């Protein structure tokens, strides 16, 4: 019985770090640029497609990883320069509408390029098996890799934001944009970097989700909603909040599915979110006070 809970806890953790990778980019973009980017899920989808294509072509997980992160970062950068840069000063409704237009466009573009059928993404033998953890308890290797990568990325994000000059600018930008610009920081290029960084993380999430879930059109739309839930619970603009909330959502969702009746399981995290917003409208770790 204890092993059952251990397995579910690991599943929840793995789901949680995937959500964190999605939410980290989203929360930075919202915290600094004040932009609601519904198309963030489409970047995740692109990452998965780039990875699946590269993996099929070369058979190398490493090259697939590079394709997923770098190509998705490039797509994100392109979107920022062409469209999103115009949206920062618009109101939330315009942002919701325009980024929704981007979702329609990218979903259809992917359907044209890769077709409507889900792509296979087969793991190489090294990652496809299971690892024995305690006694007879085994757990899929790749899922353990996901957890490890997610936690490493979280640590790197923490270092980046608290220990580097770029991170300092990101924090300053979230606190007071006008002042940062007045002090001579090139705010436009800072925005582009942050956006590309968020896109790379979404691509990484897509790359790791590919072998577990199906690589198909619209795969990002449901994940996006979960990532939004995470950043709302965690507090908009706070990467630390995103990590805590992502793990919380991952665990609540996973345990909800095994412990609650089916009709309530899917509602669990939304109930948590409504409760958090009701008590603390700014989320658990409100970045802007």
Which of 136, 184, 262, 289: binder of another protein (CB under 8 A)? Answer: 262
Does position 284 interact with another protein (CB under 8 A)? The reply is no
Does position 181 interact with another protein (CB under 8 A)? The reply is no
Within 105-134, the residues that bind another protein by CB under 8 A are: 105-109, 111-112
Which of 66, 81, 168, 265: binder of another protein (CB under 8 A)? Answer: 265
Does position 232 interact with another protein (CB under 8 A)? The reply is yes
CB atoms within 10 A of CB 188: 13
CB of residue 45 to another protein, shortest distance in Å: 14
**Count of residues touching another protein (by CB under 8 A):** 42
Select 79 or 121, whichever has its Cβ closest to another protein. 79
Which of 93, 136, 184, 289: binder of another protein (CB under 8 A)? Answer: 93
CA distance 23 to 204: 12
| Coil vs helix vs strand at 286 | coil
Task: Mark 145-175 as b/e (b = at least 16 C-beta within 10 Å).
Answer: bbbebbeebbeebeeebeeeeebebbbbbbe
What six digits make up the tokens of 105?
């466009």
Closest CA relative to residue 157, chosen from 266, 22, 250: 22
Select 186 or 266, whichever has its Cβ closest to another protein. 266
Phi and psi dihedrals of 144, rounded to 5? Answer: -65, -40
Does position 22 interact with another protein (CB under 8 A)? The reply is no
Please give the C-alpha separations between residue 216 and each of 199, 247, 266, in angstroms, as whole numbers.
18, 25, 21
Phi and psi dihedrals of 102, rounded to 5? Answer: -65, -40
Within 208-227, the residues that bind another protein by CB under 8 A are: 221, 225
Which of 5, 57, 59, 92: binder of another protein (CB under 8 A)? Answer: 92
CB atoms within 10 A of CB 253: 21
Select 104 or 148, whichever has its Cβ closest to another protein. 104
Binding-site ranges for another protein (CB under 8 A): 30, 36, 38, 83, 86, 92-94, 96-98, 100-109, 111-112, 221, 225, 228-229, 232, 236, 262-263, 265-267, 270-271, 273-274, 277-278, 281-282
């Amino acid at each position: 019985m204890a092993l059952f809970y251990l397995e579910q806890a690991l599943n929840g953790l793995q789901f949680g770090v995937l959500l964190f990778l999605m939410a980290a980019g989203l929360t930075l973009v919202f915290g600094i640029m004040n932009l609601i980017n519904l198309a963030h899920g489409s970047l995740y989808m692109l990452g998965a497609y780039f990875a699946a294509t590269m993996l099929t072509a070369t058979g190398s997980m490493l090259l697939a990883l590079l394709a997923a992160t770098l190509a998705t970062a490039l797509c994100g950068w392109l979107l920022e320069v062409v469209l999103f840069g115009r949206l920062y000063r618009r109101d939330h409704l315009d942002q919701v509408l325009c980024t929704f237009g981007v979702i329609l466009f990218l979903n259809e573009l992917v359907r044209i390029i890769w077709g409507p059928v889900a792509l296979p993404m087969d793991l190489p033998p090294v990652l496809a098996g299971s690892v024995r953890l305690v006694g007879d308890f085994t757990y899929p290797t790749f899922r353990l890799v996901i957890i490890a990568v997610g936690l490493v990325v979280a640590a790197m994000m923490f270092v980046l934001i608290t220990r580097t000059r770029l991170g300092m600018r990101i924090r300053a930008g979230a606190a007071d944009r006008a002042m940062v610009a007045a002090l001579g920081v090139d705010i436009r290029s800072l925005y582009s970097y942050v956006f590309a960084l968020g896109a790379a993380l979404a691509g990484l999430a897509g790359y790791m989700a590919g072998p577990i879930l199906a690589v198909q059109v619209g795969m990002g739309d449901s994940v996006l909603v979960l990532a939004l839930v995470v950043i709302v619970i965690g507090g908009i603009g706070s990467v630390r909040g995103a990590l805590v909330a992502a793990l919380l959502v991952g665990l609540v969702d996973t345990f909800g599915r095994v412990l609650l009746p089916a009709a309530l399981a899917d509602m669990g995290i939304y109930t948590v979110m409504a409760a958090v917003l009701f008590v603390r409208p700014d989320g658990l770790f409100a970045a802007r006070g």
